[in-house]
Structure formats: structure tokens, C-alpha cells
């Protein structure tokens, strides 16, 4: 016969499980709602005749909410959305240890990866927060890149913001061959839009106070900084930037 104390603990455990399940379901529904909103905006854009086909592209998302669901990343290749933004670290397969003390590099613009596993690891100095790490191989070595974190049994995973899980060459097949050639050569040419520049040279930081008509964006570009001025969404001026800017 179950004691009153054991019965109370069981009830609390069941209640906690229901709350966690509810939070996960709510998170997934929220993300799918956001995707529906984005799809509706694309339809509205089509209805008013926006000329940029990029508005109509809706990349697939995986909606990972815990370690198990994040392992969906192992089921297909990934492509980096913003190069020179995400730091990766050496990973020891035998000891399953991330060497957080030594940065190995930054993921490159539109770099293709094949995630082998998703694990948790505790960085030095972290309290109870665990990093969620995607494991991949590059140049015959194994590395790990953070894709989220876990604290008190709750996960926040942002891999959908980091990676395409469909080939961007197919998603943006409407781009002309000369644009894709520039992207592959990590170059930006006049007339390219901001997304095409991001694909070519990675993340950029816009100047404060810019307007939608004209804006200036500064790109670290892996140590070869560039400054690009966009007019009505197209690159009109491309010049070297100051180191460290």
C-alpha cells in the first residue's frame, strides 16, 4: 500500500511532467504559428506583387525542444546561415569532451556540415547551465559548435536560426548563375542584395540610423573587413573596412 507521502510525491512528479509536456507543446505550437505568420506574409507579398522572389522562400525548420529532438540534425546535411558568427571547438570523441579552452575557428559563410551527434557539455565556470553542442567533422578532425543550452531540465535550442536543413542552392535557385558564382567565391558584386552578400561574406552589422532606402553594413569577413552601402536593397558601393570595425 502506498503511503500518503509517497502518493504526494507521485502526484507532484506527474504534475511536473504534465507542465513540462505542456511547455514543450506550447513552444512547438508557437514556432509553427510564427511560420504560418511568415507564410501569410509571403502570400500577402505575392498579392501586392513584390518583385523580390526571396520573400517567397520559407526554409524548413526542425523545431528542436530537447536533446532527443535536436538529434534530427544528424538526418541530413546543414548549411550555415551566417558565416563568421559561430565559434566551434575541438571535440574528443573517446572522452566525449569539448575543449572550450581552445577556439578552433568560426563557421564559414554557407558552409556545409554533417552533424554526427548532439550532446551536452558544461563549459568552465558555468553554474548549472549545460551547452547543447552539435558534433561534426572537418578536415579529418572532430569539432563541436554550441546550438543551445539546458538549465534545470529546460532547453533552449536555436539551431533553426543557425542552419538551413535544405540546400540553399535549391531554396534560392531563382538567383542567377553569376550571383551564385560570386557567393561560392566569397565575393560581393554591385547589384547583389543583402541576403546574397550574407551568403558570400557572412554576418554584417548595419550602421545605426540607416533607412530602408539606404543603409551601410559592416562585415568582419573573416579578418578582411568590408563596408557595403545598399541603395533600395542593392549593393552600390563596396569598399575595404577598418580592421576591428
Let me know if residue 245 belongs to a domain: no
Residue 62 counted as domain residue: no
The verdict on 157 and 177 lying in the same domain is: no
Is 104 found in the same domain as 43?
A: no
Q: Note whether residue 138 is domain-resident.
A: yes
Same-domain check for residues 235 and 154: no
- Rounded CA-CA distance 228/241 in Å is 9
Q: Which domain holds residue 101?
A: 67-164
Pick from 114, 160, 109: which is nearest to 134 by CA? Answer: 114
Q: Per residue of the chain (245 residues), give pLDDT as tens.
A: 566 665 665 666 565 555 555 545 555 555 555 555 555 554 554 444 456 889 899 999 999 999 999 999 999 999 999 999 999 999 999 999 999 999 999 999 999 999 999 999 999 876 768 999 999 999 999 999 999 999 888 999 999 999 999 999 999 999 999 999 999 999 999 999 999 999 999 999 999 877 778 999 999 999 999 999 999 999 999 999 987 65
In a domain, 106, yes or no: yes
Q: Do 13 and 102 have their domain in common?
A: no
User: Considering its fold, how many domains does the chain have in total?
Assistant: 3
Amino acid at each position: 500500500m502506498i503511503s500518503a507521502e509517497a502518493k504526494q510525491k507521485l502526484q507532484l512528479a506527474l504534475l511536473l511532467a504534465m507542465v513540462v509536456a505542456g511547455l514543450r507543446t506550447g513552444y512547438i505550437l508557437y514556432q509553427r504559428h510564427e511560420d504560418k505568420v511568415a507564410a501569410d506574409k509571403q502570400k500577402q507579398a505575392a498579392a501586392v506583387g513584390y518583385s523580390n522572389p526571396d520573400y517567397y522562400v520559407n526554409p524548413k525548420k526542425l523545431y528542436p525542444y530537447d536533446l532527443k529532438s535536436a538529434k534530427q540534425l544528424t538526418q541530413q546535411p546543414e548549411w550555415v546561415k551566417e558565416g563568421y558568427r559561430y565559434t566551434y571547438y575541438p571535440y574528443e570523441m573517446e572522452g566525449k569532451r569539448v575543449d572550450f579552452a581552445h577556439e578552433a575557428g568560426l563557421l564559414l559563410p554557407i558552409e556545409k556540415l554533417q552533424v554526427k551527434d548532439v550532446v551536452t557539455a558544461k563549459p568552465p565556470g558555468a553554474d548549472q547551465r549545460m551547452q547543447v553542442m552539435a558534433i561534426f567533422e572537418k578536415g579529418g578532425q572532430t569539432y563541436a559548435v554550441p546550438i543551445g543550452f539546458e538549465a534545470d531540465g529546460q532547453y533552449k535550442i536555436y539551431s533553426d536560426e543557425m542552419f538551413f536543413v535544405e540546400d540553399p542552392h535549391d531554396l534560392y535557385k531563382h538567383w542567377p548563375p553569376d550571383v551564385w558564382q560570386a557567393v561560392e567565391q566569397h565575393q560581393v558584386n554591385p547589384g547583389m542584395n543583402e541576403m546574397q552578400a550574407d551568403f558570400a561574406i557572412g554576418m554584417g552589422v548595419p550602421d545605426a540610423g540607416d533607412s530602408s532606402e539606404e543603409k551601410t553594413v559592416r562585415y568582419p569577413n573573416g579578418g578582411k573587413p568590408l563596408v557595403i552601402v545598399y541603395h533600395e536593397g542593392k549593393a552600390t558601393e563596396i569598399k575595404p573596412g577598418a580592421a576591428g570595425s
